[in-house]
Structure 1
Amino acid sequence: MASHIVCKVSELPPGERKIVELEGRSIGVFNIKDSYYAIKNVCPHYKVALCEGTVTGMPLPSKVGEYVWGREGEIIRCPWHGWEFDILNGKSIFNPHKCRVATYDVTVEPIQENLEDERVETFHVTVEDGVVVLHI
């Protein structure tokens, strides 16, 4: 299993999503209340970009005559035909036992100090009295 850095934590605040292309797959990464989830960006109905849909909640079981709304920010609605899926586990809302989208593990890891050094050679730069000084 390969690991890919998607972004810094600060670049994906709660309630936001980021769609990435990795290993030939389009994947939506979501920050839901400071927990991170990833689902395949393909609706199984008509193969459209599911993660471009509306993130919403859903009605919860309640007594007759009551309407209880919950799970706000945990449900993704397909932009074409409104099929809804649970972002936390990929299961469809209408038929969770037979219809789902793939999910992927997401972790938050500390930034490695030498990460930049592995990608590009960089040098420390400071500004002194309006003069840019490069330290090699």
Structure 2
Amino acid sequence: MMEYYKAAEVSDVREGELHPVEVDGEPVCLAKIDNQIFAFTDNCTHISGPLNEGDFEGCMVTCPWHGAQFDVRTGKVLRGPARQDLHTYPVKIEGESIFIGLPPNEE
């Protein structure tokens, strides 16, 4: 069962900009595209570069360390050196709050 955690307010995330947050200890990056909010892991799958510091254009983020590119809507790798897709998270809006779904911790 997915657990949802408050990540930010809708007004915090600007169209065309990346917004880093920490959700239950996980580094997550939020992006707004055409007024829809997407959430993905903030670490590049190549060697964990901070994606929130990279270039963001359209729906593509470019890692600032080695130039890997990803579609933030799907997490798909668009250009290497990364070979593994980004983990994306379900987003739920309640009122003015953004909630991110994380799988339960397995103990």
**Alignment TM-score, normalising by the size of structure 2:** 0.77
The within-5 A match list for 1:1-136 is: 1-56=2-57, 73-94=58-79, 99-111=84-96
Mark the structure with the bigger radius of gyration: 1
Q: Secondary structure at the match of 1:51?
A: helix
Pairwise CA RMSD: 1.9
In terms of fraction of residues, the more strand-rich structure is: 2
Residues 19-75 of structure 1, C-alpha deviations (whole Å, 9 max, x = no match): 11122210001111100101101111111212321002xxxxxxxxxxxxxxxx200
**Alignment TM-score, normalising by the size of structure 1:** 0.62
Q: Which structure carries more relative contact order (alpha carbon 8 Å, separation 6+)?
A: 2
How far the C-alpha of 1:111 sits from its partner, in A, is: 5.0
Q: Which runs of 4+ in 1 moved over 4 A?
A: none
What is the distance in 1 between the residues matched to 2:19 and 2:71? Answer: 17
Q: Which amino acid is 2:53 matched to?
A: E
Greater shift after overlay, 33-42 or 45-54? 45-54
How far the C-alpha of 1:3 sits from its partner, in A, is: 1.5
| Structure 1 segments unaligned to the other structure (5+ residues) | 57-72, 113-136
The answer as to whether partners of 2:76 and 2:86 remain within 8 angstroms in 1 is yes
| Structure 2 segments unaligned to the other structure (5+ residues) | 98-107
Alignment coverage as a number of residue pairs: 94
Q: Secondary structure at the match of 2:94?
A: coil
